[in-house]
Structure 1
């Protein structure tokens, strides 16, 4: 029987897994992988790592805004003894962007980050709320950086949900945006606290689905634009209670998780996974794919010749094409929280910029959380 990794190892695996997913996935965001399921292209890329590390003039794979913002979240949590402080986090986001603006930030989030840099700003959530005529962004920027929040949730699911939502609201005020961060945080948190000998992928997915149904405010799958939001608000006031329950059943994340549960039983081709669960920059069309990548890759994948489930998760996530760096980063965070740091090849860590910082941040967060437990 294989022993579960230690909690410290899982903390490390989570943050480093997010970094390597980001760094390895980033080159393919521009070039693509030739369509979902193109495993050979991704495998050929990582097979060159040994040569590139030892070769003359070798350079690290650079991280993107995914890691830059996740580092801000971790540093803020460390500075505030594991507590989420929105104003502190907002300042760190703004400062990080101003110091290193060329990390691949999207245009829309840049406008928010610039406003967060205004020292006279009293409401740090206001810039995000004003976007898209008040509809807010439903991109995956809140989900891509939320892993450190999940590490600080201890055994309190409600705390994970609230802090994930709050951290996302600084830039993504649309419910599909912040609920994506909630789902990603729940997946990381659940992976962190699941023993390897008790893992059941279908039960893991069903538990996420039940939690999203019971504890997370929902949104209809066609809500996303400002006009849709306004129409939905007016319509909701006229709905009967039966109709309101239908809205809850139609929540887009529950739909994705229901499809995910079905996929774990049917094992569809990567093309279908990308089509149904999504591979774009919107949270509701990417977080589910990250969760599925982790769960599917607990077992071998035909055509993906990798023995390690951790490595397989990263490569599979990238092979879904689309927003490769963010999906791989989110999948890497979940997988790392389950498999631990030992599952991430040393050559991957050496080649990926920021892995060393992720290790240090993971250790600091681990010390904060374990100290908090002993003091209670």
Structure 2
């Protein structure tokens, strides 16, 4: 296994988990003041299904260096913790997979045979983009494979591709201006509402107010890929060299905050010079041992 691939994916996974855990705290009514005051919610911060599923992607890549869909489905099902905030359709599907159901049939049958167009495939994919950052076409193919295990709708697949490519481009082309960053992503995202949203996000780069941008692009409130991914890429394009600024910018727009922060965190964590803030790390729940992800470098002394 190439050490640099693992290191990149590890950095993305830790950034994703930290964003997810931070965002999950902002659903707690007592912590809502953080939106306006930008004060950190008290710890510990627990991560959600976003991180649990990202850990399965990481584990499969570490073991196989590619997305083995059967192995990924088995990992998703066997590691499934009902209390992590999964949606009802995913809860049911993963339970049936554990009971011997065929994930291909179950995934395709969701939502009257249309498949899920939710943001679940996008929320977990950033470490894959980091892994395949040296080959954008491979990042696209592997992201699609990872999505299809639970999300067969083209919008969900497009959302996963967009986030994976955004992470890969953050690694491979660190100095791209914000507009060119979004252009590079758009080149690889198939025609879809997600693609249209990224085009719209590029037009909104001159706007500095994330709430206004989210009014146009969505903030994940509908829990769909096209209501989630364009806004997260708008944030990443503008703030990908400052982890704290990126996560706060994402969070203040509201919506599906744990998922939007997970996506942004997974992308921004692989930018040049990024170190995850020690104060935040101390509050965050550790990654599960089964993921096999190395710990980050020790925190600097306070």
The interval holding the TM-score normalised by the smaller chain is 0.7 to 0.9
Query: 1:112, CA displacement in angstroms?
Result: 1.3
Question: Which of 324, 327, 340 matches 2:257?
Answer: 324
Q: Is the 8 A contact 2:211 2:252 kept in 1?
A: no
Cα displacement string for residues 337-358 of structure 1 (whole angstroms, at most 9, x for unaligned residues): 1145x52112211211125869
Q: Is the 8 A contact 1:140 1:283 kept in 2?
A: yes
TM-score by length of 1: 0.71
Query: 1:202, CA displacement in angstroms?
Result: 1.1
Question: Which SS does the other structure have where 1:338 is aligned?
Answer: coil
Cα displacement string for residues 253-306 of structure 1 (whole angstroms, at most 9, x for unaligned residues): 222111111111x215323211111112111111111111122225xxxxxxxx
Normalized per residue, the structure richer in helix is 1
Question: Which SS does the other structure have where 1:343 is aligned?
Answer: coil
Name the residue aligned to 1:260. 201
Name the residue aligned to 2:46. 62
Question: Which SS does the other structure have where 1:102 is aligned?
Answer: helix
Q: Is the 8 A contact 2:107 2:149 kept in 1?
A: yes
Q: 1:87 to 1:8 in 2, by over 3 A?
A: closer
How many residues in Structure 1 have an aligned counterpart in Structure 2? 291
Question: Which SS does the other structure have where 2:103 is aligned?
Answer: coil
Q: Is the 8 A contact 2:56 2:291 kept in 1?
A: no
Q: 1:347 to 1:268 in 2, by over 3 A?
A: closer
2-side partners of 1:335 and 1:150: how far apart? 12
Considering only aligned residues, what root-mean-square deviation do their CA atoms show, in Å? 2.7
Structure 1: 5+ residue stretches without partners: 1-5, 53-58, 219-250, 299-307, 365-376
Give runs of aligned pairs for residues 26-175 of structure 1, distance below 5 A.
Answer: 26-29=24-27, 31=29, 39-41=35-37, 43-44=38-39, 46=40, 59-80=43-64, 82-97=65-80, 100-119=81-100, 121=101, 123-175=102-154
Q: 1:295 to 1:31 in 2, by over 3 A?
A: farther
2-side partners of 1:113 and 1:359: how far apart? 18
Residues 1:286 and 2:286 are matched in the alignment: no
Name the residue aligned to 2:277. 345
Question: Which of 204, 207, 210 matches 2:184?
Answer: 207
Q: Which has the higher contact order (CA 8 A, sep 6+)?
A: 1
**Rg larger in structure:** 1
Residues 1:296 and 2:238 are matched in the alignment: yes
Q: 1:147 to 1:88 in 2, by over 3 A?
A: same
Structure 2: 5+ residue stretches without partners: 297-302
Cα displacement string for residues 127-169 of structure 1 (whole angstroms, at most 9, x for unaligned residues): 1100111111111001111122212314222211111111111
